[in-house]
A and B are shown apart, each in its own frame.
Chain A
Amino acid sequence: MKNKVVILRTENLTKYYTSGYVFIKKVLGAENVSFSLEKGEVLSLVGESGSGKSTVANMILRLVKPTSGKIYLGDRDIYSYSETDYWRRVQVVFQDPYSTFNFFYPVDKPLMDCFDLIEGASLGNERYPKAERQKIIRTTLEKMGMNPDEILGRYPHQTSGGQMQRLLIARALIIGPDVLVADEPTSMTDASTRVAILNELVRLKKEKEMAVLFITHDVAQAYYISDKTAVMKGGRIVETGVPEKVFFDPEDPYTKSLIASVPKLHERWDFSE
């Protein structure tokens, strides 16, 4: 049997958003979220909006500090890593790629800059001089089925949402992190390009043995891509397991109702009571 290495582990992760100073209002973001992610595995978090999926992602990305609970990357707490050390290991594809790119620079810039995150590589040193960086970017984009001549040198407003999301995945591919957090990576794309992005993620996982935390509200996408699934509701995980079990033979009543409300192409809902 293959030896499995747990790369990311959360323990009783809880987050309360608070507002006000004297009369403090508390809103539950996530409560007692525990899961583990192995090398080369895709875990999908499924749930409606407001179920705490993105809160969990933000806590893993160190954007939001958990109220209680611990997150371990490898065997160390995530807050014990330095900033560059952490981003070398954990990367993200956000829901809205337009907010990720700087609008004043061409899309090459984040791709060129990301080499600095690779160990021992700063701009101008021998390992990754500028020409070498450009060469790597070109081969990566070609591998992803994009035309580098067409896309490089453009500004963010000249590219489509789907292309930008794929550029972000290309960036992750260059850095080669241990964990990729994909927060609704197909939100900006059409049905026709959605599958291409999903296939790209599957390839990344296989080739680079990357662990992917895939966050989505689309049950079918979660089933297509994942090795393990967790269904969230109101900040809690209500059901976990292999996708075949969770989506086709669910135990939790909430999961059942979630699956039942997915429209099917070859079947009509019956509303006649």
Chain B
Amino acid sequence: MKDETQAVLEVVDLKGYYRGTFGVVLGVDGVSVTIKKGEALGLAGESGCGKSTFAELITGTPLPGLHYEGGRVEVEGYDVWKLPPETLRKEVKCKHMSYVPQAALNSLNPIKRLKEFVADMLKERTGQRYSPDEAREMIANHFERLNLDKHVLDLYPHELSGGMKQRAVIAISTYANPSLLIVDEPTSSLDVSSQKDMVKMLIDIQREGIIKSMITVSHDLAMLRQLCDWIAIMYAGRFMELGKMDDVVSDPRHPYTKLLLSSLLPLEKWIKSQDLKSIPGRHPDMRYPPPGCRFHPRCPNCTDICKSEKPPIFEKDGRQISCWLCSEGF
């Protein structure tokens, strides 16, 4: 019998760089994380910090330009980077892991009805041919479970709104009950009210037991707060802080997390009277990352050791912080 607390995803010291005429860009540089069954991890950070790169590397099939440079990714026991690509595509993808990229609404085929798209997908996954109407019958139940209208399947993508398209893509990608769902910026192109529908659907997927664990990549911390119970704050290709959502939001320890949280604009009465501050400086050029702690040029609490030595990860009760300030416990 399988252990209930078995890890769905195990990432150890993952590295992935972009290589091209521009040089070598350190996209993800030594990230380790373990996600157990029933946990939802949110990834937050500024643009260019490597959130989407991390998500792409987990899938095992990154876009051209991004290269895997070392580390181990295991999804339900499958070592993603050791498997042959065809086995990865047929055995692991969709069945154990689904990836919904950024702007997923553009991944639908514009000249095919949704049911024809689903029929194609089923043919690839099961090896059997289905007519569009059979495919429609098969997936209609799944759509209804997620409170989506099954008539959507008879329509072309251009007949749907952005929010509906995005939700339909996520519904299709969770059809085979994958253990792990990776969603990249699910709400960035949506309105406030369709954002809420999206969040509700992602919560429903978890509650119904369709998926076991989820990784959500977003720059919108307030939205991640609604969805996830764990949060990782990323900066310059590394995790700065990882911990339970409530702990991190109510008591941030890393200087970057503190600054990031203080630069948010929540809809509260006090924000008008308070002088909100942005983080000084800008994200480093990842071709030439700063030595030592990568946040030190912008950090208000920078000391001498930060400039020369990379801080290790200090851990306590499952919370991980990579900062020299926490070297004597936190």
Contact = CB atoms under 8 A, between A and B. Distances in A.
A264 B220 CA distance: 11
Given A223-B267, A266-B250, A190 B47 contact: yes
Contacts of A198: 265, 276
Given A192-B278, A196-B278, A220-B271, A265 B192 contact: no
A187 B37 CA distance: 36
A265 B46 CA distance: 17
B46 A269 contact: no
B196 interface: yes
B219 interface: yes
A257 B278 CA distance: 30
A199 B280 CA distance: 14
A115 interface: no
Interface in B245-280: 249-250, 259-261, 263-267, 269, 271-272, 276-279
B226 A268 contact: yes
B47 A262 contact: no
Contact of B193 (A247, A248, A261, A264): A261
B199 interface: yes
Size bracket, chain A contacts: 35 or more
A269 B197 CA distance: 11
B22 to A, nearest CB: 12
Given A244-B269, A258-B193, A195 B277 contact: yes
A243 B267 CA distance: 11
B310 interface: no
A48 interface: yes
A194 B226 CA distance: 22
Contacts of A191: 46, 219, 221, 260, 263-265
Given A257-B193, A261-B196, A269-B196, A219 B267 contact: yes
Nearest to A160: B282
B249 A195 contact: no
B88 interface: no
Nearest to A190: B46
A217 B260 contact: no
A220 B200 contact: no
Given A194-B278, A266-B249, A220 B266 contact: yes
A263 B198 CA distance: 12
Contact of B265 (A194, A259, A266): A194
Contact of A258 (B192, B221, B263): B192
B223 interface: yes
8 contacts: A191-B265, A192-B279, A194-B263, A220-B271, A224-B272, A261-B193, A263-B222, A264-B267
